[in-house]
Structure 1
Amino acid sequence: MTPSRFSLICMKAILLNSLLFGTAFAGFFGSDDKGKSGLDFNGGYDINTVTTMSGRVISLPHPGENENTIMEVKSGNELLNICLGPGSYWDKNGIAINVNDDLSVKGSKAQGQDGKSYVLAQKLVNKTTGAQVDLRNDKGEPAWSVRNTSRTRMESPAGGMRNQGGGMMRSGGGGMMRR
């Protein structure tokens, strides 16, 4: 194989990889999304990066990219962009937050392509007022997701859990489709 053919194959592999994996190589080839995080705020929750941190609010919740609500929190020497979910969901289900409130945030931490630190919030507690909100379940599924809201779980009178949304039910490792 000639060196020029090898180089051509490598460039094709890199281009194909960038197309398959979204914006992973956008910075290498140049990008129209300058200033954007490059993060998937709905599906990008990584349970392997979940952490809990505390900090002080330095900007109130405001519209961010892709219709998500974001606020900035100063935690130690770090500035964190807390992703609170879609604006329509936050407006209905969010808690009161003021500048200088002390917060505790549990969520998936990620570094954006813009160099900023983001936390996709799972649980938010305003330690100043005592108010709290759960924005995602333990698996990271957003509360505003159709999949999450269709699986409302309630405790049955006999104890245990029962699935109210239909679909798959598992008991003893097996499963069957309910119609």
Structure 2
Amino acid sequence: MLWQCLPADTSFAGFGFGFGGNDSDKSGLDFIRGYDPETVTMVTGRVVGTPHGGESNGTFIDVQAGGELVMLQVGPASYWEKNGIPVRLNDEVSAKGSKAQGKDGKSYLITRELTNKTAGASAEVRGDRGEPLWGSRSVGGVRSERSGGGMGGRSGGMRFRGGMMMRH
């Protein structure tokens, strides 16, 4: 699978990220408290791996951005399934967030906001200072520029109407 490897010459200096408490977390990044405002950047590219992952380390979307593969971390599965946007292979997306290189050599973006240009929808995952929205009582940050569409991949059944997401 393309998302499992990066070219050996890929390099990125990540700053201020602690190691997670889960030994199975091969990235070594703290995806909950590791958001560093000093490393915020915008990543734009093509989806090469639809949402995957789980609760403890979060849900990831793999994006080919130029010559670099970046794993977008978009929160825990329970949050993403409820508040996420449609993301399918080959969709063009842009994401803003805190970028770091994991100890596994992969590039990660702890995503604050994700926009799917192909589907015409965006979702907020974190607040302006990087605080996770899944820990708050705020209503999901999904915005839709077009009605219709649905979650790709495993969950299906999600539809957008007038900026609201509903299950059918």
User: Normalised by the size of structure 2, how large is the TM-score?
Assistant: 0.66
The 2-side partners of 1:139 and 1:86 are apart by 18
CA-CA distance at 1:87 after TM superposition: 0.3
Q: Would the alpha carbon gap of residues 59 and 75 (structure 1) be closer, same or farther in structure 2, given more than 3 Å must change? A: same
Q: Alpha carbon RMSD of aligned pairs, Å? A: 2.3
* Stretches of structure 1 lacking an aligned partner (at least 5 in a row): 1-20, 25-31, 151-179
SS at the partner of 1:139?
Answer: coil
From 45, 56, 64, the counterpart of 1:55: 45
- Is this contact kept in 1: 2:31–2:57, CA < 8 A? no
CA-CA distance at 1:66 after TM superposition: 2.1
CA-CA distance at 1:35 after TM superposition: 6.9
SS at the partner of 2:44?
Answer: strand
What does residue 35 of structure 2 align with? Answer: 45
The structure having more radius of gyration, on CA atoms, is 1
Q: Would the alpha carbon gap of residues 78 and 143 (structure 1) be closer, same or farther in structure 2, given more than 3 Å must change? A: same
Structure 1 segments (4+ residues) deviating >3 Å: 21-24, 32-35
The 1-side partners of 2:67 and 2:61 are apart by 16
User: Normalised by the size of structure 1, how large is the TM-score?
Assistant: 0.62
SS at the partner of 2:133?
Answer: coil
What does residue 95 of structure 2 align with? Answer: 105
- Is this contact kept in 1: 2:19–2:30, CA < 8 A? no
* Structure with more of its chain in helix, by fraction: 1
Q: Would the alpha carbon gap of residues 35 and 135 (structure 1) be closer, same or farther in structure 2, given more than 3 Å must change? A: closer
Map 1:17-96 to 2 at 5 A: 23=19, 33=23, 36-64=26-54, 66-96=56-86
The 1-side partners of 2:70 and 2:101 are apart by 10
